[in-house]
Amino acid sequence: MPHFSKESQQQINTCHHDMQAIFKAVEHEIDCEVRCGHRTRTEQERRFAKGESGFHWPESLHNEKPSMAVDVIPADMDPKDVDRWHWFGGYVKGVADRLYAEGVVSHRLHWAGDKGDQELSKLPHFEIYMPH
């Protein structure tokens, strides 16, 4: 059974407990790398400057404590394989929906690919759905 690396565990620990529950359940079946949970001001501004984020501090859900967003990639996946991204995004959403229905988590999950976004750099991004 897969398990998070030390670095992935540190990143997921910075996230909202619902996000932790969802990705710990996903990790039981799919070996994943948690690339980014909470971002500091310095990290957020660096990512904005590099074009890796469209938000300045503190506008990103990655900036909240606990983080309401996480970037995750399956360990064995070609990050340029869009079809595999859609499979993974659907799998994660299915796990999240099941946990929501069972009352394990109290928030829905949104995936960057839900908007039809095909930009590869955005496909690792998942966030707690926050209705306006």
N residues, the chain: 132
94 burial type by CB count under 10 A (0-12 exposed, 13-18 middle, 19+ buried): exposed
Write down the pLDDT at residue 121.
83
Write down the pLDDT at residue 110.
95
| pTM to 2 decimal places | 0.93
Q: How far apart are CA 70 and CA 115, in angstroms?
A: 17
pLDDT at 132 > cutoff 60 = no
Write down the pLDDT at residue 5.
93
55 burial type by CB count under 10 A (0-12 exposed, 13-18 middle, 19+ buried): middle
DSSP state of 94: H
Q: Find the radius of gyration of the CA atoms of the chain.
A: 14
Q: If residue 52 lies in a helix (H) or strand (E), which one and from where to where?
A: none
Q: For the residues 102-107, what does the mean pLDDT come to?
A: 97
Which of 65, 64, 62 has its CA nearest to residue 124? 62
Residues 25-76 have pLDDT tens digits of: 999 999 999 999 999 999 999 999 999 899 999 999 999 999 999 999 999 8
**pLDDT, the chain, mean:** 93
Domains of the chain, CATH where assigned? 6-128 (3.30.1380.10)
φ, ψ of residue 69 to 5 degrees: the values are: -140, 155
